[in-house]
Amino acid sequence: MERQKPHKKLELWGKVIDLVAFVYDLTKEFPREEEFGLKAQLRRAAVSVPSNISEGLTRKTKKDKLHFLNIAQGSLSEIDAQVEVSRKLGNIGDTIEREANDRLSLVERMLSGLIHHIAG
């Protein structure tokens, strides 16, 4: 039997994967001219979060773990900014922006807790 990766044992992991799926769904209807702009940026930032969490949690040293988890935090901030720009440009409505902000806040709190736990 395959050993479960450390990141997949966390409740945070499920929330992060849900956030990525949410971002992909909300960007489906973006205008064609955003295909390589805001749509691509949002999707890259979203995928960066679980990618950096999984890489960080497989690292051996506390310093390396925290480095990748901090990058994941930065990607969450990027998503936050890009969601706001998306609303301002009319690509998403207020309700979707609120839902995105709620999801981001939850993941940010959980990730901060993990960082504090590892930092000791």
pLDDT(1) > 60: no
Do 81 and 54 form a contact (C-beta atoms < 8 A)?
A: no
Query: How confident is the model over 66-117, as pLDDT tens digits?
Result: 999 999 999 999 999 999 999 999 999 999 999 999 999 999 999 999 999 9
Q: Are 46 and 20 in contact (CB under 8 A)?
A: yes
Domain 36-119 is found in CATH 1.20.140.10: no
The rounded Cα 2 to chain-centroid distance in angstroms is 26
Calculated CA dihedral for residues 35, 43, 103, 11, nearest 10 degrees: 160
106-117 pLDDT, tens digit each: 999 999 999 999
Q: What is the largest CA-CA distance in the chain?
A: 49
